[in-house]
A and B are shown apart, each in its own frame.
Chain A
Amino acid sequence: MKQVASLYSELVESGKAASIRRYNLRKLCRSFDLPPCGVSFWELDDLNWDYLQTLNRSLVHERFVFRGGEHFPRSYWDDRVLGLDRRTEFIFLLTTGGNQHRARRAFFAHNFSDSERIFGTPKSPSPREDGDRLTTQFHHGLLMDLIHFSAHRAHLGALADFYLALALLTLTPTPAEMTRDGIFDSFKQNFPDYRADITRIKTATDLESKLDDILYLMGKLDG
């Protein structure tokens, strides 16, 4: 099977993409029992139709499904709930040296730098700030997705934990272990005021009270 890494090398070497920065979320995903997933930022020299058409044709891959970055993480969970255990690659486009998708670039560069792989030479450095705007987005993403996935109760607890983990990552230094427990523990150490909230969420047995606790905490962090 062709690796995504070799596909990306080819795209950059053949000049189809100017550069690609990729983050591997494998460890985080494994701790949620999810298939591997990656997030990549593509620098493009041009936005014209022929260029995008050529890229579109070269994106064929038998194991990975490519999605727009703005669908992270919903479409990943859509697959999960439907029982399609496929690997997902989320793509964000940037213009060469451009300033787009700042918040997401900062978020992944900050938290997933261990797994970063760079193809070619990016002209836009990863921005450092803007984590706080994502806290709101993750909070709202969870509200929407709880409604969207409400018919699939068995997945709701893990889905909410996944969103909470992402929201906590916008606020803490990078945890030693990029797993559900690693992120929760690191947050407890850095924000002792919330120790009790995290413990209650981790040990909850009733789904609805767990979800209420998560929404309440995310609302406070986002406030």
Chain B
Amino acid sequence: MDRYYLGKLVDDINTAASQLAEAALKPHLRTLCALDRRVVSGERHFKVLRYLLAVDHACPVQKLLRLRPAFENLCRRFSGPDFDCVCHFGHDAPVQPEGSDLTVLLHFYMLHAGRDDDWNRHLCAVLLDDPETQTSLLPPWTGFGEGLRRDQLEDEILSFCQHYLSGNFDSLIPIRDFEAAFWRVVNLACTYHGADDWDALVDLLPIRFRERLKPLPDNWNALREAERSFSQEAFVQCSRQSIRFCQQLMELEATP
């Protein structure tokens, strides 16, 4: 699928998803942000769309319970012979594409409606991969980027390393899970250290590591692109560098 049609498809899914959420949760939906409006050509076979939603405390459970079947219907409607659409609630766990050209994952996360608290700040910081454009979509009460603590970043780094400790990387599912955990660390670290993007973040690290760490996102992309000829060696290389990056992040002092 070329970039133009993928872009249109993403817009269509976003529109359909927000209409559906609005209708299903009326009048309790406080906010729904679709975080991905860009098209990354490097993700031809695999695309993740993230949604942040918040409901008020009076939202009856009956409406919540109907949400998943409704979104599964929506995913079925969008899926075709060469295209899968799948939804997940509250976690990054991806699924294996079943021989189709493109898999789009819809990931939904729940914000704490109307509150400026740790929960919202942390959730937004780990999910926003493009704070410059995506922050404008967030409601102001999420307090994005303010008051993140050092230990929140360290928790995320250690959780990422834990993935590697207990993981069994014999297929693409756990590897994508591992990569998603890596991006949570990157997103949170960018926000904590006030870096605009990956390059700016790596520039904060000691100069001797930069050259080797800079291509890391490209290496992860390449690994994902080559999914049908998966190479264990390339994965080991990627994970080794990612863990080295985490080591360096743990050493990095907060920017003033």
- Selected from A68, A137, A211, the residue in CB contact (under 8 A) with B119 is A137
How far is it, in angstroms, between the C-alpha of A179 and the C-alpha of B66 when the chains are bound? 31
- Quick one: closest A residue to B68, CB to CB? A150
Across the interface, which residues of A come within 8 angstroms of B136, CB to CB? none
Checking A69, A99, A215 against B154 with a beta-carbon cut-off of 8 angstroms, the contacting residue is A99
Q: Which residues of A contact B112 (CB under 8 A)?
A: 136, 140
* 8 Å CB interface, B45-103 against A: 55, 57, 60-62, 64-69, 88-91
Residues from chain A with Cβ under 8 Å of B240 in the complex: 49
Q: How near does chain B come to A92, taking the closest CB pair, in angstroms?
A: 7
Segment touching A, from B164-172, B188-196, B206-214: B164-172
Segment at the A interface, from B11-19, B127-135, B155-163? B155-163
A102 within 8 A of B: yes
From B151, B166, B244, B250, A68 is in contact (CB under 8 Å) with B166
B65 touches A68 (CB 8 A): no
Please report the total number of B residues contacting A with Cβ < 8 Å. 41
Q: Which residue of B lies closest to A153 (CB)?
A: B65
- Is A101 an interface position by the 8 A CB rule? yes
Any chain B CB within 8 A of the CB of A126? no
Q: Is B185 an interface residue (CB 8 A)?
A: no
Point out which of B69, B108, B158 has the most chain A C-beta atoms below 10 A from its C-beta: B158
Check B61–A52 contact: CB distance below 8 A. Answer: no
Chain A-chain B contacts (Cβ-Cβ < 8 Å), number: 119
| Other-chain contact of B117, A56, A136, A148, A215 (Cβ < 8 Å) | A136
Verify B61–A49 contact, CB threshold 8 A. no
B138 CB–A CB distance under 8 Å = no
B66 nearest in chain A by CB position: A150
Q: A208 contacts which chain B residues (CB < 8 A)?
A: 60-62, 65
Residues 228-256 of B at the A interface (beta carbon under 8 Å): 239-240, 243-244, 246-247, 250
Taking CB atoms, residues of chain A closer than 8 Å to B68 are: 147-148, 150-151
Contacting B at CB under 8 A, from A60-102, are 66-71, 74, 91-95, 98-102
Residues of A within 8 A of B154 (CB): 95, 98-100
Do residues A147 and B64 form an inter-chain contact, with CB atoms below 8 A?
A: yes
Asked if B6 CB lies within 8 Å of chain A CBs, one says: no
Cα distance, A143 to B167, chains bound together (Å): 27
B163:A68 contact, CB within 8 angstroms: yes
- With A and B bound together, what is the CA distance between A67 and B108 in angstroms? 22
- Is the CB of B110 closer than 8 A to any CB of chain A? yes
Query: B165 touching A74 by the CB < 8 A rule?
Result: no
Q: Would A59 and B166 be within 8 Å (CB), given that A92-B158, A136-B112, A146-B65 are in contact?
A: yes
Can you show 17 pairs from A to B with CB atoms below 8 A apart?
A47-B247, A48-B247, A49-B164, A49-B239, A52-B164, A56-B165, A59-B165, A68-B159, A69-B162, A70-B159, A91-B165, A99-B151, A136-B119, A150-B64, A151-B68, A212-B60, A219-B57
